[in-house]
Amino acid sequence: MGAGRFAPSPSGELHLGNLRTAILAWLFARSTQREFLMRVEDLDRARAGAEELQLADLRAIGLDWDGPTVRQSDRMPLYSAAIDDLRSRNLLFECYCTRRDIAEAGSAPHAAPGTYPGTCRDLSESEREAKRAMRPAALRLRSETTEFSVTDALHGPFTGVVDDFVVLRNDGVPAYNLAVVVDDGIQGIDQVVRGDDLLSSAPRQAYLAGLLGYTAPGYAHVPLALNAEGKRLAKRDGSVTLGQLAGHGVGPGEARSMMLASLELPTTSLDAALAAFDPTLLPTDPWVFTTDPGEKRGMRLAPENR
């Protein structure tokens, strides 16, 4: 019946916000009798030992998954094949712009801020040759639309910008938007549960999926965990990873209970949470998590929903 997935980047320890999203992805998949797959997105920011630590933390809070863990770094031929397919259909063009070039050029009239202005889309061959001598090219998709619509399980219909986005970086590494689409398509992922900071990426990815012959997955973009300042939870906030919590005597089971409580689900076990899980009843506001040294086990854990 398809599959869901969790796909962390091994750049460091998972914090409670990451783990909470993993729990949600597991609940969505298991409650719909889908497989739940684990994919390590290690094309960009891989830190030695991070993958092993992340997978251990996921197991420590009780999550399981089906089949072997997949790593993007092992799948380069699949991305190359997709790029070759797009190139053969004249759907790619070389781009020599830096981020500064794009920022200074501005966008086309009526285009959303930050979208690619089309600088290199229609260069002549002689212009491309001149630019190749100065810097390597990235490859951008020659998009044939400016927007695309998806339906999200929590946000409903959502229409977002689709510009000429990068599919291959100028260092030869496949871009996130290409790799994730290829992976989801080949793995049979038809349910994507992730943080709502990635909602704006869904239209680009769904559009590209169609071009590559895949059916776009269903999406559920869930609220993030925030710190007391309303910013995305990060390790620097202190006591937000399982390792940090363990230093204050808070074990994985208690941490899991806090995350389940923030979702207004039973806290006794994942099985109990699964039995009660109803996506329509999930909190829609971010989870605000604060810590205050000096109380319980050397700290006060104060998660709350606002």
Order of strands, sheet of 225-226, starting from the edge strand that comes earlier in the sequence: 225-226, 287-293, 299-305
What is the pLDDT at residue 112? Answer: 66
Q: Is 39 exposed, middle or buried (0-12, 13-18, 19+ CB in 10 A)?
A: buried
pLDDT of the residue at 72: 97
Give binding residues as ranges: 5-9, 41, 95, 97, 116, 120, 176, 194, 235
Of the candidate CATH numbers 3.90.226.10, 3.30.70.270, 2.60.40.10, 3.40.50.620, the domain formed by 75-210 belongs to 3.40.50.620
pLDDT recorded at residue 295? 37
Claim: this prediction has a pTM higher than 0.85: yes
Q: What crossing angle do the helices spanning 50-60 and 16-31 adopt, rounded to 10°?
A: 60
Profile the chain (306 residues) by mean pLDDT over runs of 10 residues. 94 94 98 98 89 98 98 98 98 94 68 81 94 94 97 97 97 97 98 97 98 98 92 78 93 97 97 98 92 41 46
CATH topology of domain 3-73+223-305: Rossmann fold (3.40.50)
- How far apart, in whole angstroms, are the C-alpha atoms of residue 230 and residue 97? 34
Give the residue ranges of the annotated binding site for L-glutamate.
5-9, 41, 176, 194
Domain spans of the chain, in order of start: 3-73+223-305, 75-210
Residues annotated within the binding site for Zn(2+) are 95, 97, 116, 120
**What's the confidence (pLDDT) of residue 46?**
77
Q: Of 171, 96, 99, 93, which Cα lies nearest the Cα of 132?
A: 96
Q: Which helix (H) or strand (E) holds 267?
A: none
Residue 162 is predicted with a pLDDT of 97
